[in-house]
Amino acid sequence: MTVKLLIADDHTIVRRGLQVLLQEQPGWEVCAAAENGQMAVELALKHRPDVAILDYSLPVLNGLEATRQIRLGSSKTEVLIYTMHNNQDAIRDVLHAGARGYLLKVEDDGEVVRGVSALLQKRPYFSPQVAETLLDTFLSGGKVVTSQMLTSREREVVQLVAEGQSNRAIAERWAVSIKTVESHRTAAMRKLNLRSGVELVLYAVRNKLVEP
């Protein structure tokens, strides 16, 4: 029986490299590849892959929201996050959204194969560094960097604003009112004790929500 895999990354060289690596494994087939999160969701709902390998910092729709939508629309599809970001907030959020694996891009090819294999067996899988981060978080009582935990919408609005998206553009993407977006943005800035858009962008860069 053929295993169907989906890849989503905005870098062509990463998508091609993953495709070559994964299709070298007997019985594995990359059924679709996406360059942004929205495309990843659409392809996942069309092809119903066994595992979707998603970058966290995808354009159009980030990896967090893409994970949530894929898991809602294709419950049999396991999600493996493949990213540079070893950030406890990001790890926590994607796990809550339904991802079962979190792999850092600094790992070797063998880790990618082991990660996908684990998810195919319905077992979670984490890079060694990610496992250490999760352990540190557990031992510290689950404390996060910020004084108050942001909701997933608040985290997403911080990322999108830092990427240069206007309140109107975010509202259109979410299919909500501009007032709703402004409410999420205000709540996030209050929790983070930020006073300006510049400080918000700096926070997003420091916490690896966006690439500098």
CATH number at residue 37: 3.40.50.2300
Task: Lay out the sheet containing 28-34: strands in order across.
Answer: 28-34, 3-8, 51-54, 78-83, 101-104, 125-126
What integer pLDDT is reported at residue 140 of this predicted model? 59
Give a yes or no: residue 146 inside a domain.
no
Indicate the number of domains in the chain. Answer: 2
For residue 138, the model assigns a pLDDT of 62
Whole-angstrom distance, CA of residue 109 vs CA of residue 94 = 22
- Residue at a domain's end among 139, 164, 185: 139
**Is residue 117 one of the residues assigned to a domain?**
yes
Q: Could you read off the pLDDT of 101-139 as tens digits, one per residue?
A: 999 999 999 999 999 999 999 898 998 888 877 766 665
Quick one: pLDDT at residue 145? Answer: 47
Residue 80: beta bridge partners?
A: 53, 101
pLDDT at residue 82 is higher than 90: yes
DSSP-derived 3-state class of residue 82: strand
- Domain CATH code at residue 163: 1.10.10.10
What pLDDT band is residue 86 in, cutting at 50, 70 and 90? confident
Find all residues with CB under 8 Å of 149, minimum gap 6, and list them: none
Cβ atoms 78, 44 nearer than 8 A: no
pLDDT at 143: 47
pLDDT of residue 50: 98
pLDDT digits (tens, 9 = 90+) for 153-189: 888 999 898 888 899 999 999 999 999 999 999 999 8
208 conformational bin, left if phi > 0, alpha if psi -120 to 50, beta if neither: left
Average pLDDT, the chain: 88
Mean pLDDT of the region 194-198:
78
Q: Are residues 13 and 117 in the same domain?
A: yes
Domain co-membership, 110 together with 185? no
The DSSP call for residue 44 is: H
User: Does 212 fall in a domain?
Assistant: no
| Domain span holding position 47 | 3-139
Give the integer Cα–Cα distance in Å for 119 and 196: 42
> Is 188 found in the same domain as 114?
no
User: Do 40 and 116 fall into the same domain?
Assistant: yes
Q: Which of 46-50, 161-165, 200-204 has the lowest mean pLDDT?
A: 200-204
Rg (CA), the chain: 17
